[in-house]
Chains A and B, each alone.
Chain A
């Protein structure tokens, strides 16, 4: 039992030394995890001349942010991303909450078929349906439009979210709904007024995640939009491939793209962790 040795050695150290060691390990881990983001922030604050030796200079400037914000395309991309993410979140939750409720409350062939369908489509790689969706979008006149980007963003969440929503409702005792039905409530009433309120915390958590997923999504926008609907991830990827070497501006854009996600996650973290107990 070679593995036993280490905990024993650790346990033999005096309590204070153990505390310090534990603290050091924690600090090292946190540092490694946070470092790429910290480095990005530092790069975004460096003037153009200092960007190539980020670790040496001490000059700090907010000029990069000002310069990036002068670019209309970047500003438009931020607005578009925020709009699409918000609408996609609202509609994804609306569409999947009822689908998850159905999966949770009913058995039988219809529910089994629907569950099988969403399980299979959950596995299909994005490229396998977004690639031909390009033709579909073009022939329906949806290519490079808001609606043409929004609808696939809603569709992509149907499978996974229905499955998660089923889990949320599985955790809620249905007897209250039966009581409501006996009292003359309609099925819709039992669903919306009795079951739904108990599921709200979990649904809010999912909403936070959904907003982040959509804000961060890249492939759909790359394939389904051109110049008329720029979104932030695509604009940034173009920075890398086209503008190449202007790292300070790129870092500034990336930091700004991180901000809303951080704010949202900071306030939503509690709900996400509480809401997503599988």
Chain B
């Protein structure tokens, strides 16, 4: 500090601010500013053919919220996807974590194999599944026909395509739950389990009355984070079905992307992006409350 006079902030405050300055600066430039610009665009006729960018008020929001495609296909898809993907991966991940939480020969090897999907890019996972579920040459239909069943045109019908998308996501994210829940399991105290073993408590009762309650906080964190991330899923849908057949497997992110970059209506795309952001903020807050209450009960 050159010259006299008191510095603007105390020494400690300056240290605190310096610590977060780079992060805050990047966050502002690349998230806050774009969101503000997107909000501005969402109130304007921001299309290629209109250089004046006329103010249209809430028209875009009205258009999105009254679009039957958005209300009856995209939103239900997004929420069904979120619930199935989170629940499926949680149950599978928990089962695998319990399996791995006992010593056996080759445990390390099994653990490494189970963590494989964690390293696979969603785009690659989607390409793999698309190839396996190919209706003419895919291995899934080949196996089905080998068993004397009929092959299905998996990616050509809405609900089978949706099922493949959900399955891909569960495959991708189960290891993540396994990893975190296994870490949680291994940090649990031993004594209650030893006491239960002496009392001859059944395995199922030990699980519901001891393991689950003690794992609650880890499960809460996993579910909230994953649910929020599942809401923004884009890569696997884009690569697997591109939202098709028709637009029947579109999720929210894809809907906004299509509006902005394929229909080239940036205004309405921005409005959709903001509506989705608001929905997930509300959902995230509610989810946090609900799961937190379950965790404390």
Contacts and interface: CB of A to CB of B under 8 A. Distances in A.
A52 B137 contact: yes
Interface string B16-42: 111110111011011101110110010
B22 A95 contact: yes
B46 to A, nearest CB: 8
Nearest to A117: B27
B214 interface: no
Contact of B38 (A132, A162, A218): A132
A37 B116 contact: yes
A269 B232 contact: no
Nearest to B27: A158
Given A125-B280, A128-B35, A216 B115 contact: no
B183 A277 contact: yes
Contacts, number: 251
Contacts of B184: 278
Contacts of B83: none
B160 to A, nearest CB: 17
Contacts of B203: 7
Contacts of A30: 110, 113-114
A223 B261 contact: yes
B107 to A, nearest CB: 9
B196 interface: no
A120 B231 CA distance: 15
Given A128-B35, A218-B235, A247-B131, A261 B120 contact: yes
A125 B252 contact: yes
Contacts of A52: 136-137
B137 A127 contact: no
B75 to A, nearest CB: 14
Of residues A1, A33, A117, A151, which shows the largest number of chain B Cβ atoms within 10 Å of its Cβ?
A: A33
Interface of B: 11-13, 15-20, 22-24, 26-27, 29-31, 33-35, 37-38, 41, 96, 99, 104, 106, 110, 112-125, 127-132, 134, 136-137, 139, 142, 171, 174-175, 179-180, 182-184, 187, 202-204, 218, 221, 228, 231-232, 234-235, 238-239, 242, 252-253, 256-257, 260-261, 266, 269-270, 273-274, 276-277, 280-281, 284
Given A128-B273, A128-B276, A251-B127, 17 more contacts: A8-B202, A26-B106, A33-B171, A37-B128, A39-B139, A40-B128, A99-B19, A110-B17, A122-B228, A127-B257, A128-B277, A131-B256, A133-B34, A216-B123, A247-B137, A258-B120, A276-B179
6 contacts: A7-B204, A52-B137, A98-B19, A125-B280, A128-B256, A277-B187
